């Protein structure tokens, strides 16, 4: 493949995303698979990577910048956490080189918050923050997902962050809890359903009674035959509302927030923000941010090496 400057990879627990980029960050080719950490560990990380590169016709010598769980203790090579507060530039300087005879391969580290009262970690999302820093964003960033991250950024620094396991709780509650029968058969939560906004309002206004509100989803199904679709939408709203309440408690004023999301998550959080009175969050597309952050890291690492050579 002609014109490839470098390859970037977001390699998570359950997914693999690879992009071949030119020097300006334009996508010349991409590969996706479900070869996450467990599958790739069994097949061999280098074998998986080289198979995808070969499929795109990318020969030896093209460097690769990676992020995500591939750099965890259970990954290919551990990229130790960088402690916060820190400059995002430090991620590139602390990238770990993977032994390889055919090409330069680097893995970006995650971030660790070692405050004994609020310990926290992230691995993968910090690459999206690199993209926000490229846009000179200052303020609070919300990165929703299975484990939602809320991050305070100031002049290219990450000062602190917090993780809310909102997405994981949603899946556990809908599939393996006493609430599961009340939402069985429902498709996806609908942020345009009135039940979603009601849930957001209740979770935001009374997060201390979240457990009771969750059980009422079952009671409403039993006593009032509430439809599973409405119950699921309300469940989603309750959890996101409680997350917003927690973020406000930890970070203060949320009126100037960057939302790094796409698809259904972006729609759900935008409706939740509107319900909470958080007007017009700055929206960044999540996958684009991951790719842009990796591109910035690759430029910083590999361009410097080429100039030295």
**Where do runs of H (alpha helix) occur along the chain?**
37-43, 45-55, 89-93, 125-134, 166-176, 180-183, 194-205, 210-224, 228-251, 263-275, 286-298, 304-308
Give SS3 for 290: helix
Is residue 117 classed as helix, strand or coil in its secondary structure? Answer: coil
In this prediction, the residues of the chain whose per-residue pLDDT falls under 70 are 304-309
CA distances to 40, 48, 67, 173, 298 from 33, rounded to whole Å, are 11, 10, 16, 28, 22
pLDDT digits (tens, 9 = 90+) for 210-250: 999 999 999 999 999 999 999 999 999 999 999 999 999 99
Residue 216, C-beta contacts closer than 8 angstroms, at least 6 positions apart: none
Can you give the pLDDT at residue 80? 97
| Same topology between domain 6-163+286-308 and domain 165-278 | yes
Q: How far apart are CA 182 and CA 180, in angstroms?
A: 5
Q: Would you list the domain boundaries of the chain?
A: 6-163+286-308, 165-278
Q: What is the pLDDT of residue 308?
A: 42
Q: What number does CATH give the domain 165-278?
A: 3.30.420.310
| pLDDT for residue 304 | 61
Contacts of 54 (CB under 8 A, 6+ apart): none
% helix, strand, coil for the chain, step of 5: 45, 20, 35
Q: Is the pTM of this model over 0.75?
A: yes
Using a 10 angstrom Cβ sphere, with 0-12 exposed, 13-18 middle and 19 or more buried, the burial of residue 182 is: buried
Class of the CATH domain delimited by 6-163+286-308: alpha beta
- Give the model's pLDDT for residue 280: 82
């Amino acid at each position: 493949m002609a014109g490839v400057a470098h390859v970037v990879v977001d390699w998570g627990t359950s997914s693999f995303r690879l992009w071949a980029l030119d020097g300006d960050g334009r996508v010349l080719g991409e590969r996706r698979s479900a070869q996450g950490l467990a599958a790739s560990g069994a097949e061999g990380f280098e074998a998986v990577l080289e198979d995808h590169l070969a499929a795109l016709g990318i020969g030896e010598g093209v460097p690769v910048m990676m992020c995500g769980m591939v750099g965890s203790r259970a990954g290919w090579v551990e990229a130790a956490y960088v402690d916060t507060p820190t400059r995002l530039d430090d991620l590139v300087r602390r990238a770990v080189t993977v032994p390889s005879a055919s090409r330069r391969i680097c893995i970006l580290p995650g971030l660790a918050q070692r405050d004994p009262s609020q310990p926290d970690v992230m691995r993968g999302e910090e690459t999206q923050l690199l993209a926000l820093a490229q846009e000179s964003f200052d303020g609070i960033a919300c990165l929703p997902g299975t484990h939602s991250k809320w991050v305070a950024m100031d002049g290219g620094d990450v000062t602190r962050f917090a993780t809310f396991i909102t997405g994981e709780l949603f899946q556990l509650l809908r599939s393996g809890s006493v609430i599961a029968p009340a939402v069985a058969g429902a498709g996806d939560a609908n942020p345009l359903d009135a039940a979603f906004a009601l849930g957001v309002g209740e979770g935001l206004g009374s997060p201390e009674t979240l457990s009771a509100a969750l059980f009422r989803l079952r009671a409403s199904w039993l006593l009032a035959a509430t439809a599973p679709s409405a119950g699921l939408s309300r469940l989603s709203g309750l959890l996101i509302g409680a997350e917003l309440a927690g973020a406000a408690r930890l970070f203060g004023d949320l009126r100037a927030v960057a939302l790094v999301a796409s698809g259904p998550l972006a729609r759900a959080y935008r409706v939740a923000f509107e319900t909470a009175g958080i007007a017009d969050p700055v929206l960044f597309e999540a996958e684009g941010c991951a790719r842009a952050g990796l591109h910035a890291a690759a430029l910083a690492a590999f361009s410097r090496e080429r100039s030295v050579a």
